[in-house]
C-alpha cells in the first residue's frame, strides 16, 4: 500500500496534531473541517507549535516551512477524491461520524481506507454508514499525536484482515508502535483501563481524601506514572472523559464506569481542564 496523500477530517486538537504528524513524516496532508476558516485555525495552531520549537532550537526555520508546505486546508469533504487514505477525527458523536463517513464515501475512491480516531464508539455502526464496511477500521491516536508512540487499531465486525494489516503498516510508516485489538470492544485497551483509574482519582477528591496535587504526586512517585491522573484528566478534557465513561457505562451496562458527580459539577462551571483555563488545576490564559 503506497500512501502519500492523507485527508484528515476534523481540525481540532487531535486532527491538527495528526495532520502535523503526517507532514513531519513526509506525507502530504489535507486538513478539512466544516468551514475553511476552521481548517485554517487548525493549521494556525500547528504553525504556532512549530514556531515554538524553532524558538527553542529544536527545529530550524527551514524545517518548519517544509512541514507547513505539506499541509493544505479545505472546507469541503470533496477533497477526499484525491486522498490515498482518510483519517476521521471529528467530534465523539456517533451520528456526526456516520454522517461524515457517509459523505466521504461518495467522494473517495473505492479502494481508499477509512481510519477513525474514535476512542469509544462502535466501529461497526460507523462502517454501516458506508458502502465499504470492510475498509473501515479504528486507528486511535493519543494526545499529542506527534509525540505519543502508541496507536490502537481495532476492527469492526465487517473489517477485513487486509484492512487491519494495512492500518498497521500505515501506523509504522508514521513512526508509531501500534497494538491491535483482536475484536471490537468499547474503548479498546487504554481508555478502558485508564477510565477507571481517572474515575477513582476523582472519587478521592470528591470524598475529601486528599488534594489533587497530593493524589497526582502519589501516583507519580508511587506508581511511576509520568503524569498524575488528575493532571491527565485536565489535559484530556473533563467533558471528553465524561463522554467516554458514559459510552462505556451504556455499552457494557457496568456500574464500574459510572463517573463521579463531581465531574458534572465541574463541567457545569466550565472547568473543563487546560482548554478552558481551569479544571482540577488553574492554568490562567
Name the grid cell of 251.
455499552
Whole-structure pTM value: 0.86
Instruction: Give me the pLDDT at residue 1, please.
Output: 65
**Intra-chain end-to-end CA distance of the chain, in Å:** 44
Q: What is the CATH number of domain 190-276?
A: 1.10.1040.10
Burial 262-272 (b: 16+ CB within 10 A, else e): ebeebbeeebb
For residue 149, count CB atoms less than 10 angstroms from its CB and return exposed for 0-12, middle for 13-18, buried for 19 or more: exposed
Residue 233's nearest CA partner among 194, 261, 265, 270 is 194
Q: What cell numbers appear for 121 in the block?
A: 464508539
Q: CB-based contacts of 45: which residues, under 8 Å, 6+ apart?
A: 13, 16
Residue 247: predicted pLDDT? 86
Q: Does domain 5-180 have CATH number 3.40.950.10?
A: no
Residue-range domain boundaries for the chain: 5-180, 190-276
Residues recorded for the chain: 285
| Spatial CA neighbour of 139 closest among 172, 112, 113, 115 | 115
Whether 46 contacts 19, CB under 8 Å:
yes
Do 190-276 and 5-180 fall under one CATH topology?
Answer: no
pLDDT reported for residue 2: 84
Q: What is the pLDDT along the chain (285 residues), one digit of tens a residue?
A: 689 999 999 999 999 999 999 999 999 999 999 999 999 999 999 999 999 999 999 999 999 999 999 999 999 999 999 999 999 999 989 999 999 999 999 999 999 999 999 988 899 999 999 999 999 999 999 989 999 999 999 999 999 999 999 999 999 999 999 999 999 998 899 988 999 999 999 999 999 999 999 999 999 999 999 999 999 999 989 998 998 899 889 888 999 899 999 999 999 999 999 999 999 999 986
Amino acid at each position: 500500500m503506497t500512501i502519500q496523500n492523507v485527508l484528515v477530517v476534523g481540525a481540532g486538537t487531535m486532527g491538527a496534531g495528526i495532520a502535523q504528524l503526517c507532514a513531519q513524516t513526509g506525507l502530504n496532508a489535507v486538513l478539512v473541517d466544516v468551514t475553511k476558516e476552521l481548517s485554517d485555525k487548525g493549521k494556525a495552531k500547528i504553525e504556532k507549535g512549530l514556531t515554538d520549537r524553532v524558538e527553542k532550537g529544536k527545529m530550524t526555520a527551514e524545517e518548519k516551512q517544509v512541514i507547513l508546505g505539506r499541509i493544505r486546508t479545505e472546507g469541503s469533504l470533496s477533497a477526499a477524491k484525491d486522498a490515498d487514505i482518510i483519517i476521521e477525527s471529528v467530534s465523539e458523536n456517533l451520528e456526526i461520524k456516520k454522517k461524515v463517513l457517509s459523505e466521504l464515501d461518495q467522494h473517495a475512491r473505492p479502494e481508499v481506507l477509512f481510519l477513525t480516531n474514535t476512542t469509544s464508539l462502535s466501529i461497526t455502526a460507523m462502517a454501516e454508514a458506508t458502502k465499504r464496511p470492510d475498509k473501515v477500521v479504528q486507528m486511535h491516536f493519543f494526545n499529542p499525536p506527534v509525540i505519543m508512540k502508541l496507536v490502537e487499531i481495532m476492527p469492526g465486525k465487517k473489517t477485513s484482515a487486509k484492512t487491519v494489516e494495512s492500518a498497521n503498516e500505515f501506523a509504522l510508516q508514521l513512526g508509531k508502535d501500534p497494538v491491535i485489538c483482536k475484536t471490537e470492544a468499547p474503548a479498546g485497551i487504554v481508555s478502558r483501563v485508564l477510565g477507571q483509574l481517572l474515575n477513582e482519582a476523582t472519587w478521592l477528591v470528591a470524598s475529601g481524601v486528599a488534594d489533587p496535587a497530593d493524589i497526582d504526586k502519589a501516583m507519580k512517585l508511587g506508581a511511576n506514572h509520568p503524569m498524575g491522573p488528575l493532571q491527565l484528566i485536565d489535559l484530556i478534557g473533563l467533558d471528553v472523559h465524561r463522554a467516554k465513561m458514559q459510552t462505556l457505562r451504556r455499552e457494557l451496562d457496568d456500574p464500574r464506569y459510572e463517573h463521579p458527580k463531581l465531574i458534572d459539577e465541574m463541567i457545569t462551571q466550565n472547568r473543563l481542564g487546560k482548554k478552558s483555563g481551569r479544571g482540577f488545576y488553574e492554568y490562567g490564559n
